[in-house]
Chains A and B, each alone.
Chain A
Amino acid sequence: MTAPLTSLDRPNSYIGRSVPRPNAKRLLAGRGRYVSDLRLPRMLYAAFLRSPHAHAKIVSISTEQARAVEGVHLVATGVDLAKICTPWTGTLDHFKGMTSAPQWPLPVDRVVWAGQAVVAVVAESRAIAEDALELIEVDYEDLPVVVDIDSAREAGGALINPGSVNNTCFRSQLDNGTVDDAFAHAAHVVEEEFTFGRHTAVTLEPRAIVADYDPADGALTVHHGTQTPYQFQDLYSRHYNIPEARVRVIATDIGGSFGMKLHVYHEDMAVVGLSILLGRPVKYVADRMESFVSDIHARDHRVRARMALDAEGEILAMEVEDLTAIGAFSTYPRTSVVEGNQVIRLMGAPYRFKNYRATLEVIFQNKVQTSQYRAVGHPIACAVTERLVDMAAAKLRLDPFAIRAQNVIPDDAYPQTSPTGYRFEALSHQACLTRLHEMMDYDGLRAKQADLRKRGIYRGIGIATFVEITNPSPAFYGVGGARISSQDGAILNLTPSGEVRCLISVTEQGQGTEAIISQIVADQLGLAQDHVKVITGDTEVTPHGGATWACRGAGIGGETALQATRALKRNILEIAALILQEQPSALDIVDGQVVDTATRNQRIPISEIARIAYFRSDTLPPGTQAQLTVSHHFAPQGYPFAFTNGIQGCLLEVDVETGLIRLLKHFIVEDCGRVINPMLVDEQLRGGIVQGLGAALFEECRYSDTGQLVNGSLADYLVPMPMEMPDIVIGHVETPTADTELGAKGVGEAGTAAASACVLNAVNDALAPFGATINSIPITPMKVLTALKRF
Chain B
Amino acid sequence: MSGIDDSLLNEADETVRVRLIVNGRKVACEVAPRETLVDCLRDSLELTGTHAGCEMGACGACLVQLDGRAVHSCLIFAVQADGATVDTIEGLSERGAIADLQAEFHRRNALQCGFCTPGMLVNAHELLSQVTQPSREEIRDALSGNYCRCTGYEAIVDAIDAVAKARGTSGGVT
Q: Report which A residues bind B (CB closer than 8 A).
A: 20-21, 24-32, 34, 36-37, 39, 68-70, 127-128, 131, 201-205, 253-258, 287-288, 509-512, 679-680, 683, 686-691, 713-715, 719, 721-723, 725, 727-728, 751
The answer to whether B93 touches A30 (Cβ under 8 A) is: yes
Bound CA–CA A181/B43 (angstroms)? 69
User: Considering residues B5, B52, B157, which has the most beta carbons from chain A within 10 angstroms of its beta carbon?
Assistant: B52
The answer to whether A28 touches B117 (Cβ under 8 A) is: yes
The answer to whether B117 touches A27 (Cβ under 8 A) is: yes
Closest-by-CB residue of B relative to A511 is: B112
The answer to whether B147 touches A683 (Cβ under 8 A) is: no
Closest-by-CB residue of B relative to A34 is: B115
Partner of B114, one of A28, A721, A727: A28
Q: Known contacts A255-B114, A719-B149; is A37 also within 8 Å of B48 by CB? A: yes
Bound CA–CA A719/B51 (angstroms)? 18
Bound CA–CA A25/B105 (angstroms)? 9
In the assembled complex, which residues on chain B have CB atoms less than 8 Å from the CB atom of A686? Answer: 151-152, 154-155
* Chain B window 67-84, contacts with chain A (Cβ cutoff 8 Å), 1 for yes, 0 for no: 000000000000000000
Closest-by-CB residue of A relative to B54 is: A714
Q: Known contacts A25-B106, A127-B12; is A510 also within 8 Å of B54 by CB? A: no
In the assembled complex, which residues on chain A have CB atoms less than 8 Å from the CB atom of B88? Answer: 30
In the assembled complex, which residues on chain B have CB atoms less than 8 Å from the CB atom of A37? Answer: 42, 48
Bound CA–CA A304/B38 (angstroms)? 48
In the assembled complex, which residues on chain B have CB atoms less than 8 Å from the CB atom of A20? Answer: 106-107, 109
In the assembled complex, which residues on chain A have CB atoms less than 8 Å from the CB atom of B53? Answer: 204-205, 288, 714
In the assembled complex, which residues on chain A have CB atoms less than 8 Å from the CB atom of B146? Answer: 721-722
In the assembled complex, which residues on chain B have CB atoms less than 8 Å from the CB atom of A27? Answer: 111, 113-114, 117
In the assembled complex, which residues on chain A have CB atoms less than 8 Å from the CB atom of B102? Answer: 25, 28-29
Residue contacts A-B, CB under 8 angstroms, 9 given: A30-B49, A36-B51, A37-B48, A70-B9, A205-B113, A511-B112, A683-B112, A719-B147, A722-B141
Which B28-82 residues have a C-beta within 8 angstroms of A?
A: 32, 34-35, 42-43, 46-56, 58-59, 61
Q: Is B90 positioned at the interface, with any CB of A under 8 Å from its CB? A: yes
Bound CA–CA A714/B116 (angstroms)? 14
The number of chain B residues with a CB under 8 A from chain A is 63
Partner of B144, one of A68, A201, A722: A722
The answer to whether B109 touches A21 (Cβ under 8 A) is: yes
Q: Known contacts A24-B111, A30-B93, A510-B111; is A204 also within 8 Å of B155 by CB? A: no
CB distance from B32 to the nearest CB of A (A): 7
How many residue-residue contacts, CB under 8 A, span A and B? 181
Closest-by-CB residue of A relative to B141 is: A723
* Chain B window 114-142, contacts with chain A (Cβ cutoff 8 Å), 1 for yes, 0 for no: 11111001000000000000000001110
Closest-by-CB residue of B relative to A374 is: B149
| Cβ-closest 6 pairs across A and B | A30-B49, A27-B114, A255-B115, A510-B112, A30-B89, A686-B152
The answer to whether A679 touches B109 (Cβ under 8 A) is: yes
In the assembled complex, which residues on chain B have CB atoms less than 8 Å from the CB atom of A728? Answer: 152, 154
Bound CA–CA A334/B172 (angstroms)? 54
Partner of B49, one of A21, A29, A688, A722: A29
Bound CA–CA A723/B90 (angstroms)? 28
Bound CA–CA A205/B49 (angstroms)? 12
The answer to whether B144 touches A713 (Cβ under 8 A) is: no
Bound CA–CA A254/B51 (angstroms)? 12
Dominant secondary structure of chain A at its interface with chain B? loop
The answer to whether B49 touches A691 (Cβ under 8 A) is: no
The answer to whether A509 touches B113 (Cβ under 8 A) is: yes
In the assembled complex, which residues on chain A have CB atoms less than 8 Å from the CB atom of B10? Answer: 131
In the assembled complex, which residues on chain A have CB atoms less than 8 Å from the CB atom of B107? Answer: 20
Q: Report which B residues bind A (CB closer than 8 A).
A: 4-5, 8-10, 12-13, 32, 34-35, 42-43, 46-56, 58-59, 61, 88-90, 93, 102, 105-109, 111-118, 121, 139-141, 143-157
Partner of A204, one of B8, B42, B148: B148
CB distance from B26 to the nearest CB of A (A): 21
CB distance from A426 to the nearest CB of B (A): 28
The answer to whether A29 touches B93 (Cβ under 8 A) is: yes
The answer to whether B115 touches A28 (Cβ under 8 A) is: no
Partner of B147, one of A25, A204, A257, A509: A204
The answer to whether A288 touches B4 (Cβ under 8 A) is: no
In the assembled complex, which residues on chain A have CB atoms less than 8 Å from the CB atom of B35? Answer: 127
The answer to whether A722 touches B109 (Cβ under 8 A) is: no
The answer to whether B54 touches A713 (Cβ under 8 A) is: yes
Bound CA–CA A26/B115 (angstroms)? 11
The answer to whether A288 touches B56 (Cβ under 8 A) is: yes
The answer to whether B155 touches A683 (Cβ under 8 A) is: yes
The answer to whether B106 touches A28 (Cβ under 8 A) is: yes
In the assembled complex, which residues on chain B have CB atoms less than 8 Å from the CB atom of A36? Answer: 51-52
In the assembled complex, which residues on chain A have CB atoms less than 8 Å from the CB atom of B114? Answer: 24, 26-28, 32, 253, 255, 510
Closest-by-CB residue of A relative to B122 is: A30
Q: Known contacts A27-B114, A70-B8; is A512 also within 8 Å of B153 by CB? A: no
In the assembled complex, which residues on chain B have CB atoms less than 8 Å from the CB atom of A683? Answer: 109, 112, 151-152, 155
In the assembled complex, which residues on chain B have CB atoms less than 8 Å from the CB atom of A288? Answer: 53-56
Bound CA–CA A287/B32 (angstroms)? 19
Closest-by-CB residue of B relative to A128 is: B12
The answer to whether B157 touches A722 (Cβ under 8 A) is: yes
User: Considering residues A20, A39, A203, A204, which has the most beta carbons from chain B within 10 angstroms of its beta carbon?
Assistant: A204
Partner of A256, one of B32, B113, B145: B113
The answer to whether B48 touches A253 (Cβ under 8 A) is: no
